[in-house]
Structure 1
């Protein structure tokens, strides 16, 4: 499917292409969204930082959780209180933001492109409050500019890190088939799938192999494989099972907790299939399937959010879009953990060389976002 969100995010590319690459570092129900970050101590600065989650919630072991950890860590370091509002569905976005406006928040960070419209509306209505949004250009009118002068976009060129993961997956595969699927067809989802596919293709070119990638073809996006949402449910498990049945022995699910459904499908199958995480190092955040994790494609959401909060506290907050990439350590891949002895002994050296080539521009990756 094609979505208006895809058009909206792509519409922000002119803004992103012209923006300086500035390295910035990178819950509870609405009726009771407080999180005390400095119990028993006086506030060191005059700041109330706040956050609204996407529908995955702050315990998704991935995207939202990383953002929330960045908020709470920054609040603790500053000696201030943080407030949060957890969304259960898209109808919660605007009310949750409004609840934090009413609570007197000085900075409101929204997590995910689904909150873009509500964030822009609130920012325009409250010009004295700073806003930031993760994974969105805040350009709903498609003019190549941020829609309000008090919003900072936080974006990540995960195609670069996913390229490394795709190369590693192709190298590891014993069946010659690897697969990927997304929660929904949004650019910030398919950017992982773009990089993953192109990384496998690069492996084939370098090694004279023919590892197939199921679930995504950048040249035929309408044929992409999606579970239809960002929940760990039977649909996501069924999609993963389809890849397993098609002989894929490495799978990259992209969409918050849907990797948990893939892990369950792999365990139920009894087959030797490796699993990749997205956003967070799922080996650390969700060890239930730790024996399955080859690696994870990482976004530096936590440090990016932490830095935005601290910049608001010190009066250095600005709305220049942050774009995390390999050069500024805004994206990367996790260690191989339990697979360290299972991957090719020369793989890490090859990935180090590829990383340098991506940073230098010798290797180019096609995706909606180019840093």
Structure 2
């Protein structure tokens, strides 16, 4: 009996090892697999995490890519989540958000044979050979929605709600202010930061304060925190109070109160890089920059008047042609002349 028990145990262990080993091998040698790790905003943030996931979902639909996501509940989850996908042997693992700028280089060095992508950071120019960094010219799209806000406001008071204070979100803020001022020098722009990308309650509180103080249009760049803006604007009079969405078309959050959305095509970037790697055409270690000229930024206008749309198109062409350089920092804004 003892010998049979040991034999059974040995066979069981061998079977488990075989199954696990085959599973890992399938990921590495079988179908193409991609992983996505969100920041603390979560997968359903109606913003950049969700847009990135939509890019992978399209890759799954078009090419049968095996996709999986892990949501980070705190910054401490970044390295464990990235490590999990690297150990699974996924062909590429995406890190969504600039807050991964320390975790990605560490993991990339630990797993030199794995491929990674990061959105919203160029890693200070020190991009590992197995990483593709994608950034956007957020200031360009923000400038255009600023033009819309500046020409649409009836109170000459508009607002901006940011997530976490950072150079990235400052690009949204600065571009927006530049756009407003370019067409309406009399307008004032109220600015507030929630210091979170996942606090809808704080987002609503900030929006309520701005609206109560006379702002009739608010643009946000706050991830999940921005949901609070839409919760608040829906309680306001139609046609009088507006919200401007970000990253994706957010009109579904408040259909009658969403003036426009500044769409940052994170989905396109994630899809294109994943496809290029699958096709063997990607050269990792590169920095990909997407702006209006590269179709990385677009508008999702819902309630913008034709006259305003015409003005926006004029500015868009000036930016694409290089005739107009939109400021991306406060220092550049101080010297900006449209």
Q: TM-score range by the shorter chain?
A: 0.7 to 0.9
Q: Pairwise mapping of residues 96-115 of structure 1 onto structure 2 (< 5 A)?
A: 96-115=81-100
Task: Pick the aligned partner of 1:321 from 284, 287, 292.
Answer: 287
Q: 1:267 to 1:55 in 2, by over 3 A?
A: same
Q: Secondary structure of 1:110's match?
A: strand
**1:212 equivalent in structure 2:** 188
Deviations 1:224-253 (A, max 9, x none): x20120124322211111211220000011
* Higher RCO structure (Cα 8 Å, ≥6 apart): 1
Q: Does 1:62 align with 2:29?
A: no
Task: Pick the aligned partner of 2:62 from 57, 71, 77.
Answer: 77
Q: 1:127 to 1:257 in 2, by over 3 A?
A: same
Give 1:75 deviation, angstroms.
2.5
- C-alpha separation in 1, matches of 2:237 and 2:199: 20
**1:360 equivalent in structure 2:** 321
Give 1:96 deviation, angstroms.
0.6
**1:176 equivalent in structure 2:** 156
Kept in 2, the 8 Å contact 1:63–1:301? The answer is yes
Larger Rg: 2
Q: Secondary structure of 2:274's match?
A: helix
Give TM-score, length-normalised by structure 1. Answer: 0.77
**Greater Cα offset, 269-278 or 52-61:** 269-278
**1:121 equivalent in structure 2:** 106
- C-alpha separation in 1, matches of 2:142 and 2:193: 17
Deviations 1:196-235 (A, max 9, x none): 100011102xxxx5111111xxxxxxxxx20120124322
Q: Pairwise mapping of residues 234-253 of structure 1 onto structure 2 (< 5 A)?
A: 234-253=201-220
**1:7 equivalent in structure 2:** none
Q: Which runs of 4+ in 1 moved over 3 A?
A: 43-46, 267-271
- C-alpha separation in 1, matches of 2:224 and 2:293: 28
Kept in 2, the 8 Å contact 1:127–1:150? The answer is yes
Kept in 2, the 8 Å contact 1:45–1:80? The answer is no
Q: Secondary structure of 1:257's match?
A: helix
Q: Does 1:152 align with 2:152?
A: no
Task: Pick the aligned partner of 1:191 from 168, 171, 177.
Answer: 171
What is the aligned length?
Answer: 302
Kept in 1, the 8 Å contact 2:201–2:225? The answer is no
Deviations 1:262-308 (A, max 9, x none): 1222234558310000101101xxx2411110001111100110011
Between structures 1 and 2, the one with greater helix share: 2
Deviations 1:23-53 (A, max 9, x none): xxxxxxxxxxxxxxxxxxxx99742111111
Q: Does 1:282 align with 2:239?
A: no
Give TM-score, length-normalised by structure 2. Answer: 0.85
Task: Pick the aligned partner of 1:303 from 268, 275, 278.
Answer: 268
- Structure 2: unaligned runs, 5 residues or longer: 1-27, 333-338
